A and B are shown apart, each in its own frame.
Chain A
Amino acid sequence: MSEEPKKPEPQKSASAPADKSATPPAAKPAVVPAAKKEEPKKFPFNLIPKISLMSWKDFRLKTQVGKSVFRHGYSDDDKDRAMTVLTNVFFHLHPVRVRKSGSRFGFTWCAGGLSFFVFLTLVVSGILLMFYYRPTVEYAYNDIVAMREHVPFGIMRELHRWGAHAMIITVWLHMFRVFMTGSYKPPREFNWVIGVILLVLTMLLSFTGYLLPWDQLAMWAITVGSNMARATPFLGHEGPGAALLKLGDIPLIHSGDDVRFALLGGRFVGAATLLRFYILHCVAIPTVVVLLMAVHFWRIRKDGGISAPL
């Protein structure tokens, strides 16, 4: 993210002047013969410029690059530690100070943070997968096979799939922890509600992604899962009450216009479903999730940080 921190600064490293500057202090006692002997041996290596690395501190405090990246000093005190958090857009999700009880792994299990972290890994691996994958019935399965066969060190799909499962487990774990510590109570009620919505969206993300490999497992899992939508009261063509919605003899809700049709883009899982789920999976739901996560994190701060006894 930031610039390459240790820049090999091309100091005055051409060998000849460096040698000159080294000789005067050594001119005192009987070191002279030794220096003379070394000179011819050194000769071939003199062609290689000496590289002296700048200290991290000097880079931070003396170079324009270092000063521009970090907006705080380099002293070993609490003010500077506070500035580290305050002047970094990623760290400043956190407050400067937290209650000691709330910083414990034993209290939070880091479950919420890990859910966010695994979401980031899913975004990265997902973008890499999008380079190789085309959401059409002709190509989808073959692209997955190609990814497995031809991409060197191709564990991106594995990372993405296992990460998706892991995210569901961590999100459930986070909910479990928040419940067990009673952290959903006022003033944090609304943040809990946002969390519940995020939990549902996590499962929908995983559900829409499940179809994309376009293998038997994917297709039939989505078929079974979406069959339930047929039975939505009033809105599914096999749902209770749907038969009541009709104009004369013409039913308003039938298999060609109920919620399952809207979800799948057809009467069964097919090409339209693949495209629909692809866009939901890669664009629509992640956008909503990112938005809600921003609200979720912001509300943690506004509602008084990680909960603690009154």
Chain B
Amino acid sequence: MDAIKEAINSFCSPVAIFTTAIFMFALFMAFPKQMTNKWVAGAIGLGVVGFFIFGMQDAHFKDIVGKADNLPIVGMIFIFGYFTWFAMKKAVENDERIAAGQPTWEKTESEEKVLVFPYLIYIEFVIALLYAAALVYWAILVQAPLEDPANPTLSPNPSKAPWYFLGLQEMLVYFDPWLAGVLFPTVIIVGLCAIPYIDNDPKTSGYYCFKQRRWAITAFMFGFWILWLVLIMVGTFLRGPNWNFFGPFEVWTAHKVVPLINVNLSEFFYIKWLGIALPQNWFIRELPGFAALFIYFILIPKALERTVFKKLYERIGAARYHILIALTFMMIALPLKMYFRWAFNLKYIIAIPEFFFNI
């Protein structure tokens, strides 16, 4: 038992968890048919349930996972796991029907109309009743958390935001607050609003499918699962005192020592590669960072526009293309910077503390 826990603890690290999640995600997107197969999906589901049952034997694990405010997140993992499987399963079935020249399941029923009363209202009534019953039972069984009275002089360690913002708080490890707390939420909201104006082909609306919308679904699921849900889970369950990372069976101690040897890109460039001192002028000092961002956000999209995405560019037009690329590249920049941190201890690409401007 202890050996297994020890092994899990030593395997777990932000990079290992993130990489595993991306790997699973890629498997799911590359082989949706095989992954939604009831045996494969069932095995994964049972594995997760088994892990939780195994973990609950451990006092510390039980303490964290069983904490009243963390219970919704445990529920959320299973709810979203199930419905992701459910949606992909339906999508795969419809893909097969389309490939065989048959109409989709939805198409076979969409010509037919039913009366809302009683058919739809009956469904709604039953579901609402079950939902209400579940909520009342939950409310009776689990008391809402209430800690000591608020005390401005005593800050708990770790101090955490409400759980649905923990993905953003986790981002604070890799980005400055003006990015993680202000710019990213804004970009997420704007990006979500922009979806129907970029992906605006009504032919693929109204039914579950995957092959016809492969890239739209992949991008959305990546953002939702990897950059939102996984980060929330890490931030909730695995971040302890001083926001240090702890394995699931590791006891949260405030005395864990984590070396911080993060280095800025400018220091890499001037000190390590050129072997000279950092320039005094901030613009010259941060020139490599500006160049990196220019290449990433301007040159690469321009190059892609002429080559790989030529057809896409012609199809959706300049405005949509640029918005799409800006949003997508911003989204990819998050895991990129995280991996740079893990691989090279890169702190900031551009660091201008004079203006609180660090990227």
Contact = CB atoms under 8 A, between A and B. Distances in A.
B83 A177 contact: yes
A173 interface: yes
Contact of A210 (B76, B110, B162): B162
B176 A107 contact: no
B87 A158 contact: no
B110 A84 contact: no
A186 B127 contact: no
B159 interface: yes
27 contacts: A78-B115, A85-B121, A98-B120, A99-B109, A99-B114, A100-B113, A105-B123, A109-B83, A113-B124, A114-B127, A144-B146, A162-B139, A168-B164, A182-B204, A182-B207, A187-B202, A192-B196, A206-B164, A215-B148, A215-B150, A217-B145, A233-B183, A236-B182, A239-B182, A239-B356, A240-B357, A309-B206
B142 to A, nearest CB: 7
Contacts, number: 291
B58 interface: no
B135 A169 contact: no
A305 B105 CA distance: 18
B351 to A, nearest CB: 12
Nearest to A153: B140
Interface residues of B, number: 98
Nearest to B134: A166
B275 interface: no
B152 A189 contact: no
A184 B195 contact: yes
Nearest to A107: B106
A117 B134 CA distance: 13
B202 to A, nearest CB: 5
Given A168-B164, A176-B87, A118 B140 contact: no
B155 A97 contact: no
Contact of A169 (B79, B87, B169, B224): B79
Contact of B87 (A180, A203, A241, A308): A180
Nearest to A82: B115
Nearest to B79: A169
Nearest to A183: B205
A-B pairs, 5 with minimum CB distance: A228-B181, A189-B196, A231-B177, A158-B139, A231-B178
Contact of A310 (B80, B91, B203, B352): B203
Given A102-B110, A224-B169, 10 more contacts: A91-B116, A98-B114, A101-B110, A165-B72, A185-B196, A185-B201, A214-B149, A223-B159, A228-B177, A238-B178
A35 interface: no
Interface in B123-156: 123-124, 127-128, 131-132, 135-136, 138-140, 142-152, 154-156
B168 interface: yes
B72 A224 contact: no
B304 interface: no
Interface string A37-58: 0000000000000000000000
Interface string A230-266: 1111001011111110000000000000000000000
Contact of B152 (A117, A244, A270): A270
B127 to A, nearest CB: 5
A215 B144 CA distance: 12
Contacts of B178: 231-233, 236, 238-240
B90 A106 contact: yes
B116 A85 contact: yes
Given A91-B117, A225-B161, A141 B177 contact: no
Nearest to B183: A233
A16 B45 CA distance: 71
Given A100-B114, A101-B110, A176-B80, A159 B136 contact: yes
Interface string B5-46: 000000000000000000000000000000000000000000
B164 A162 contact: no
Nearest to B145: A217
Contacts of A163: 135
Contact of A220 (B155, B165, B205): B155
B213 interface: yes
B267 to A, nearest CB: 20
Nearest to A97: B113
A145 interface: yes
A218 interface: yes
A288 interface: no
A117 B128 contact: yes
B118 interface: yes
B217 interface: yes
Q: For B143, B160, B162, B355, which residue has the most chain A Cβ atoms within 10 angstroms?
A: B162
A185 B202 contact: yes
A296 interface: no
B51 interface: no
A185 B205 contact: yes
Contacts of A230: 177
A169 to B, nearest CB: 5
A94 B120 contact: yes
